[in-house]
Structure 1
Amino acid sequence: MSNFQFLEPEFKSLATTAKEAEKLVYISPQFALAAARTSLENLVLWLYQYDKKLTQPYDASLHNLLNDIKFKDLIPPYIWDKMDNIRMVGNSAVHGKKFKQLTTEETVRHIQHLFLMYVWFERNYGSPSKDRSQSIIFNPKLIPNADNTQQITANKEQLQKETEAKEKQFAEQHKALREREQKLFELSASLEEREKLLANIDAELAQKRADVEQAKIANSKIEDHTDYKEDETRKLKIDLMLEEAGWEIGTTVREEVAVTSMPSPSGKGAVDYVLYDANGLPLAVVEAKRTSTDPDIGQQQAKLYADCLEQQTGQRPVIFYTNGYKARIWNDVQGGPPRLVHGFYTQTELKRLIERRKNNPDLGSFPINAEIVERYYQTRAIKAMLAAYQRKERAGLLIMATGTGKTRTAIALVDVLMKANVVQKALFLADRTSLVNQAHNAFKANLKDASFVNLLEDKNQVGRVYFSTYQTMMGLIDEMNADGTRKFGTGMFDLIIIDEAHRSVYQKFGEIFKYFDSLLVGLTATPRDEVDRDTYALFGLESGVPTDYYDLDQAIADGYLVPPKAYSVPLKFMREGVKYDELSEEEKQHWDSLNWGDEDAPEEVSASKINKELFNTGTIDLMLKHLMENGIKTEGGDRLGKTIIFAVNQKHAQFI
């Protein structure tokens, strides 16, 4: 028997992964929690596949799957917290070389939360015909070998090897299955068969999703009396978040800290958590509310605790308040409203925040380095960003035409913020390796006193300005150090520079900007009326109103850019399309012989469809011939100059 036996009838594969985690509890907590994380991942992928409300995000890491807005709307907070707890402790088990050895009791608690997560899942997604009048209770005695730990410990090494072998075998079987499916697909005799195969797969998925939706509706009418242990889950979540940021419960973190001078009859109170520095001074207070409660209710309570600790110690702590599901930070001394954060600051990062309270510089008084930027619009853009930060705004968007020096403007902005001691660490993000390397070289050439880290080349180096692609940083967000702490914590960067900040970046990689609690500056050449409103919203701006902009027309008028020249290419088909009646007899015969699919040969193909639907060798040959004869030449006219050819799609590009 097993605590997860109830899953067997309908969800056998999920039951198998959960049982694997359960039976490893007394053998190895590390392996048990790693297996629990794998089980969670399988469940989350099941939900994305079969719940019609979910669409898999661009980057399908477990962290991103759990934090997708639609997923968080779908999953109740008290279940989402359990999922995130298992992800966090599983990450530490998988990636932390110095895995914190948990007690048997702690490991059992995590497995119990995995159990409760599956209870909720089965109650919502299982067959509506099942009798759910009785609650399913977790029974620790069902965990295998609970009374035989000595013998298990003796065989631990052998059992771990067997577990590793099973995981490897499962991965190989999974890979072989995927490869076989791909081969079958590739061996389909025709495009028509492939399309039919895909249509069948889509139809089966659509039917499964419809069945799942019906089950959910029916199950929602049955009252659930399960005790999901919300308070226990919330505390566990907060403890894990603190540990990931390098805090130790009982030493650098104390719980239920007594304070006096509260505005109550007794004047006494107890702070849920206080985070201390090495000298015993409070760096932060954490007010924890129930998972089902809005954490904002704790804001005033947390402020009163901070007041009391400031009176008692002379140092005002930074304020956090959370329900485990959402957390906010409030550094009320420096102004600015509370803001959502993904985790707690490290001890070093909190000390930096508190030290900066003494440093409230007038950013407009710092000179802008004319050796980095000398053009008026670059200086204007930097001043606009500095003014926004001075007003306690957290972000800004600079729109500058291609070729007008966006990167140099960003470098000069970083230079001012570092001299003002507002920024110690900055991160530059771009969507391509070549752009990251270009920015890295430009910063090194112009910012002489800083140290630089190109994360594409070395992920373990330490510096002041970091460079990465969005894709690489998405992967690094979830990485752990050898001691089980996060490699890149919430408060690591003071400023993030977002190159080519537009909708596609926001949609694919928006999680980066939610994860890091930093100042933001976006750079884009997209005209301001074409920037999507979601992008403006990311930077807290009104749609169509960037922090500063310098457009192509103005750059041309100022003489910094030259205008484009248009050339008319004398290819009739490209301008007017193809009409059957206007073709020669030979061309008509060729037209009739073409494969038009199930349709009759059309009477004409419009100019807009020429390259979209009719890849014409002759037309492309003529276009390339015209380019070779009339394009801009270099090296004495013997070689074609730098040229960009735009294609309609990937197929068209390959055809060209």
Structure 2
Amino acid sequence: MDKKKLSETDIISKFIMPAIQKAGWDLMTQIRQEVKLRDGKVIVRGQLGIRKTVKSADIVLYHKPNLPLAVIEAKANKHEIGKGMQQGMDYARLLEVPFIFASNGDGFIFHDKTNTTQLETEIQLADFPTPEQLWLKYCAYRGYTAAQLPLITQSYHDDGSGKTPRYYQLKAINKTIEAVSEGKNRMLLVMATGTGKTYTAFQIIWRLWKAHQKKRILFLADRNILVDQTRINDFEPFGTAMTKVTGRTVDPAFEIHLALYQALTGPEENQKAYKQVDKNFFDLIIIDECHRGSAAEDSAWREILEYFSAATQIGLTATPKETKDISNTDYFGDPIYTYSLKEGIEDGFLAPYKVIRVDIDIDLQGWRPTKGQRDKNGELINDRIFNQKDFDRNLVIDERTQLVAQTITSYLKRTDPMAKTIVFCNDINHADRMRRALINLNPEQVAKNDKYVMKITGDDEIGKAQLDNFINPKKAYPVIVTTSELMSTGVDAKTCKLVVLDQNIQSMTKFKQIIGRGTRIDDRYNKLWFTILDFKKATELFADKNFDGIPEKILVTKPEVIIDEDNSDFIDELNGTNEKSSEEDQPKINDPESDYKPADGTDFGSGESAEKWGEDESTPYIKFHVAGVTVKKIAERVQYYDTDGKLVTESFKDYTRNTIKKQFASLDDFTRKWQEADRKQVIIDELAAEGVIWEALEQDVSKDLDPFDLICHIVFDQPPLTRQERANNVKKRHYFSHYSEIAQKVLNALLDGYADEGVKAIEGKDALKANIIIPFGRPLEIAKKAFGGAQKYNAAISELETELYSDKAS
């Protein structure tokens, strides 16, 4: 056996795996092969998205399934023994393990982060460490005590379906368990929307519960949909040990309690259901979406956390809130683990986005009423210049609403009229008007189903009843929903493909939550990316340094009353657009089973009443409503998510040019590698793995060009030749006249196939099975009779490809 000729797979099976198993590692519970840690980033250009190919860790070794210890990266024996080390270290970084092994089958290079004197050593196959040796080194490295180990080693829940925590979820779980084992009682987990915070929380609770470290657990949320989705989905394995708190009664017979703040407390003493049990009743509390609800120190809901202050409390959020009044980190401490939107997109677990920024003339230039002009209701309009922040807040212009609705409709018609769409409006009145405009612009779709467009807001029971249908991928309707606040968070809309922003958004927390409505990926329904249609410049927040990071703590311990000069915060509050007073932060709840119903009955988000008060209680606040204004769209710019998380304005040709030039310094460099490749399809596939979407290029440039010519033309500005022109050039040169008559006929037929389909018609394993080749016989028969065998046939194909591209290779 010539070891140098063995494949990487053979090296693993014949040398590496036997060495590992001989050292005592259990094949069923401690060894996993081909561990895929990432899903592959989605690259989007135009209306196409494609996943980049990702490599898997060859072997990962575990103490138990929830505790990875080491990564092993293998290479074929023709390579140096340590060639796979850097790749292995990348996987180890994701898993946060200290042991990395690289091997070519001759032995191992062992990178040991626990060894401070010599990081890398070479060891023989027979000297591979035992599980006990690595576990002891790992425990010493992590500083575990004997008292911590029963909890540290407690297994996560395994339902037998094969679903296991993703690498970042496992890190979040393990870091939390480790912190609890150290006696920490306040923790914050920050994980981007769509990355499985609730599933992560379930696994944390499961391990603490099964280890008998925490016996009674409270999962606390502020919206019914969050509690119900949790109970039905991720928490289902708790079975009869779990209950949802209803009727303001805490039943001590259960161990796992899911509750709304609203069900546990209220302004009256008899509504404070949490006081039915002792202060030490709960020993673990998970606070979902902890940037809301009890986040503020003076919140009516903070009293629950303070009552159970002895319990371990873990806050979950995608968007920790740091303002002068509210600080998640002040209460929970700095996050013990953070997994950001950028990381999720780069790993391929979250959907990237493209942004279409629409600029409207009156938004940029402003609008001023004529002298003495009155609105549709007879109100005298204030004589001032109204700008973008005023529209649909202080001033309604019918034509602007119509233009926004028309732009949404046009986009859907030219892409996918059935794409799930959320339109974020300034308030409920705005959502009503937008719904009406969209219905009038889509009569054919509404005729098919009158739920094509729905308004889903806190005041509308019929609309709220359709929320489950909207987020269910199996339900086609509703397709378009208009909303103000209700759907900005906590709505798991996996197949939402269009997020429309026609709302003034100043809060980074709120912006990130809204963007999160589209970031989920669902391969089954071809949801790999989404579009943001922005009418209010909200996407400028992407450029803020805090967008994908933890905001700096700016809590003011002794807050002062601050009045901004233009009263914009006050007006925002009246209209339900101010972050602090919006639906998502409204603590005055009088119905424990409803979502956001202020105790006094006031709907701050409706915009219906003209009797809201302005600068003081003697001045009524009025929303003016006008029509007959000429409104035009003056610009529309498409931007894409770039590799560094920023938005770039570029065509797919630009993206391809930038991507290719990172790999090939010059035309000569590219053509040389192309000519040297035994199979051109390998290069085509490699570039596709880097995000070059060939279908998009063909649509953008020409479907008649070979990938070689597409690259030469787009990247290196060379005049292209079509596949047909290349095939004809080869035929004109009569280069294959030295072949037999039947071989010439086969080569001519292959050239015709190339002209129609490209190199796959020549190189594909079924090339000789094509209809144009079949008359010459079976593949093996053709290779033998026409060319003298498979080896000579392959040489003829290489010569044919050299001739095809010879004009570029000189």
Shorter-chain TM band:
0.3 to 0.5
Of structures 1 and 2, the larger Rg is shown by 2
State TM-score, norm by structure 1.
0.38
Which structure has the highest helix share of the two?
1
Which structure has the highest strand share of the two?
2
